[in-house]
Amino acid sequence: MDRRQFLGALTGLSVGSLLPSRLAFPAIRTSKSMRGPVAKGPVIVCSRGKEWGEKVTRPGYEILTHGGHLLDAVEKSANVVELDPEDVSVGYGGIPNEDGVVQLDASIMDGPTHNCGAVAALEGIKTPCSVARRVMERTDHIMLVGKGAQRFAVMHGFKIENLLTEKARLLWLKWKENLSDKDDWFPAPEGVDYNQKRITGTINVFGLDAKGDLAGITTTSGLGFKIPGRVGDSPIIGAGLYVDNEVGAAGATGRGEEVIRTLGSFYVVQLMREGKSPNEACKLACERIVEINKRNGVPIDFNDKFIALNKKGEVGCYSILGSKERPPRVAWMDDKGFHVYEGGYLIERKK
């Protein structure tokens, strides 16, 4: 068969039939039970439940409903957790790395322009998502890390401050004093309980304005007691955050390494593009992570959670681990008030 005949033969085949079944796109079907609630009017969504959800979504919602800018809305909402010393997983007050130094990761994505910005391993600046926004708006780069990110932040008027609160320092000290052979360094012992006792957190914030434009932020202090310089999924566009103005937004929290190697948020948005509901897309991303780990014989003793918002305002979330008491949650504020939705999970969390 020459090249022309070969190409001719191909035209009779669909793309799906050329791919091994594992890689073929899944069939597009959304059962009614996987449809999520639909937010009305301008909306701010975040990956927390009631306790933080209302505090976080309100300032962004106020901005959106008073003629403000979509990016200001998501930034001001994300800043609420970043600036609050009580939250030990984001911004100021975040759990430090194994040296006792707080290193922050954040990303931002603007739907209408498809622009994005990110910072990673940033020290001494309380609001990393605001620095990520400056990277997006004031440079033609996408990600700055470490000292370079800090110098860039200072140039833009951000103050270097001590981010280690007493609460986080004591948590770190306790961890340090109880160090065992179960740390991050290879070779790891057989069947290591890697993530069970590690403090994780992070927040995803999305906005959908009256024009139907989308934007999103993910911000975190990352994995508690991480190896200095470790960067998680949160500042990696497509992993911890992805926004496509034609389709929707997705964000991840939990064990970032899994989300990076599946490009989880991009995958969720892509599934929504193919017709899946936000819930269903988030569920499929969780299943993908579990499938990869099962194939490698790795026990599923870690969690990842995805939240998503589509262009029509439909919200969804799903996690790998969960329980009746601790299901994955997504919260939003829209013209009907503040809401929390509990999504599904794949595996019952051990008590």
Residues in touch with ligand ASP (CB under 6 A): 89, 200-202, 220, 222-223, 232-234, 253-256
Closest contact distance (angstroms) between CB of 103 and ligand ASP is 10
Distance CA 123, CA 101 (A): 8
Closest contact distance (angstroms) between CB of 198 and ligand ASP is 8
| Catalytic option among 202, 218, 220, 253 | 202
How far lies 332's CA from each of 70, 166, 177, in Å?
Answer: 15, 31, 40
Is the CB of 256 or the CB of 322 nearer to ligand ASP? Answer: 256
Look up tokens 């948020």; give the residue: 265
Closest contact distance (angstroms) between CB of 170 and ligand ASP is 20
Per the CB < 8 A criterion, the answer to whether 153 and 120 are in contact is no
Write the single-letter amino acid at 34.
M
User: Two tokens at 145?
Assistant: 């890390």
Is the CB of 259 or the CB of 271 nearer to ligand ASP? Answer: 259
Closest contact distance (angstroms) between CB of 49 and ligand ASP is 15
Distance CA 102, CA 173 (A): 13
Distance CA 266, CA 254 (A): 16
Q: Which helix (H) or strand (E) is 269 found in, with range?
A: helix 264-273
Write the single-letter amino acid at 341.
Y
Is the CB of 200 or the CB of 277 nearer to ligand ASP? Answer: 200
Residue 65 among the catalytic residues: no
Write the single-letter amino acid at 283.
K
- The residues assigned a catalytic role are 202
